[in-house]
Copies of this chain bind each other. A is one copy, B any other.
Amino acid sequence: MAMVCLSDFEAYAKKYLPKIAWDYIAAGADDCNTRDENILAYERICFRPRMLRDVSVMDIRTKILGTEISFPVGIAPTGFHQLAWPDGEKSTARAAKAMSICYIASTYSTCSLEEISAAAPGGLRWFQLYIHRNRAVSQKLVQRAEALGFQALVITVDLPYTNKRRDDIRNGFRLPPHMKLKNLERDFEVCKMSLMDPSVTWNDIYWLQSLTHLPIILKGILTREDAELAVRHGVQGIIVSNHGGRQLDEVPATIDALAEVVEAVGGRVEVYLDGGIRKGSDVLKALALGAKCVFIGRPALWGLAYKGEEGLQDVLRILQDEFRLSMALAGCTSVSEIGRHLVHISKL
């Protein structure tokens, strides 16, 4: 089976993963409309490619928060990588480092932050945090991440409660007993997701800033109003995200929400995006609309499911090749040449 594009990895994962794990990864909230719209929305954006530019030398590197990455794609925080591959997040960390990109490790990793760090020393990593009802737990996590060299804190803001994913309920999904939420096991006999704190507010951003020197990035912003508040509260970045369509259903596709957030932010902080990236040309569209970098969630897990670290690198290399080629065919030789002029959003 030739692995030519990301949907080949999706097909592989669907075929070979246990149904309960596949369903968990694929799940969206309610009718899954936003999950699917995240992908479909890209089809309504057309390129306006420019011809007869010298594209013989291509430079697809960029920087996020001042650190260079090999191309503007990173690994979004998703939980439970051992569902896809026995080595779990250790493989993810190794692949990301090998590709010189950023990996956002999830609070809900099945490897500990220490294991992740040890697996790929020196790799660029950010740490995703769910704020816990017991703030001391979160404080310890932040301090561990900072001590281990994670370079930013990504706060998920769209999950005060977990929304209903119908298949997970039908399947009675729960983490298999041999997998642990390694980052939390020191603190709890039994670790429940319901321990996330729905009372978190903008003021807690100040509390986080008091705990750490790390830059703070908010993940899950979808409106200009919240983008403005984020900037005013001194965060360093925003990830436009709808949690892969797993939280409130029937919110905008992230690529549709991006322009509004970018406009509100006006360059004061970096804006990223996750959700729906399946091709290199999707990355190009997101950058044209103002994203500094995009992050992939499910495709990373499909890569792990295929061949662990190696499979994830395959996924990333395909995206990288497609992105470079799309850039060249659109007439851009470096990321700095990508701009709003490159796309047209059709009325459809």
Contacts and interface: CB of A to CB of B under 8 A. Distances in A.
Interface stretch (A52-60, A70-78, A119-127, A289-297): A52-60
A49 B198 contact: no
A164 interface: yes
A170 B248 contact: no
Contact of A42 (B2, B220, B250): B250
B279 A51 contact: no
Nearest to A56: B199
Interface string A141-172: 00000000000000001101101101001100
Contacts of A197: 56
A223 B4 contact: no
Contacts of A166: 4-5
28 contacts: A4-B170, A5-B30, A5-B166, A30-B281, A30-B322, A42-B250, A43-B250, A46-B252, A48-B222, A48-B251, A50-B226, A51-B158, A51-B220, A51-B221, A52-B201, A52-B202, A52-B205, A52-B226, A52-B229, A55-B199, A56-B199, A160-B328, A161-B329, A163-B329, A164-B321, A164-B322, A250-B281, A348-B348
Contacts of A50: 223, 225-226
Contact of A281 (B5, B46, B218, B248): B248
A255 to B, nearest CB: 12
A187 interface: no
A162 to B, nearest CB: 9
A263 to B, nearest CB: 15
Given A47-B248, A52-B204, A161-B325, 10 more contacts: A4-B164, A5-B30, A5-B164, A30-B281, A31-B279, A46-B251, A52-B200, A54-B201, A55-B160, A248-B330
A45 interface: yes
Interface in A329-348: 329-330, 344, 347-348
A49 B223 contact: yes
Interface string A241-272: 00000011111100000000000000000000
A326 interface: yes
A325 B348 CA distance: 31
A33 interface: yes
A201 B49 contact: no
Interface string A181-203: 00000000000000001111110
